[in-house]
Amino acid sequence: AQRVTQVQPTGSSQWGEEVTLDCSYETSEYFYRIFWYRQLFSGEMVFLIYQPSFDTQNQRSGRYSVVFQKSFKSISLVISASQPEDSGTYFCALSELISGTYQRFGTGTKLQVVP
């Protein structure tokens, strides 16, 4: 069964716009984290930001932030002032403390930012 779902297979944005990418997940654990990665066209996975389950504050890192709706088991990645170099495929991943440190990934959202 899919534990992490990204329902948007593709997305687009114009330069300077704010972009929101959605992710939902299934877990019965109290302690977990949600990670966001961007995969470059080269295949390299780049870590962007993570949200711990116990933190009610939405995390921010540079132009990246998240909107964490714990009760809905939903999290969105927000990219402010998008740029063409933000193009790539974005993955969210769930890591549950009880299952160790491995991560379960969604299927990704391919984002294109056009000038």
4 binds other proteins (CB under 8 A): yes
**Rounded distance, CA 91 to CA 39, Å?**
8
Q: Which listed range, 11-19, 62-70, 76-84, 100-108, lies at the site for other proteins (CB under 8 A)? A: 100-108
Nearest to 101, CA basis, from 113, 91, 93, 110: 93
Q: Identify residues 18-57 at the interface with other proteins (CB under 8 A).
A: 33, 35, 42-45, 47, 50
> Six-digit token pair at 100?
């160790």
**Rounded distance, CA 110 to CA 93, Å?**
15
**Rounded distance, CA 52 to CA 55, Å?**
6
Count CB neighbours of 31 within 10 A: 12
102 binds other proteins (CB under 8 A): yes
Q: Identify residues 61-90 at the interface with other proteins (CB under 8 A).
A: none
59 binds other proteins (CB under 8 A): no
8 binds other proteins (CB under 8 A): no
> Six-digit token pair at 58?
């939405």
Closest CB to other proteins among residues 8, 103: 103
What is the binding site for other proteins (CB under 8 A)? 4, 6, 33, 35, 42-45, 47, 50, 91, 93, 95, 97, 100-108
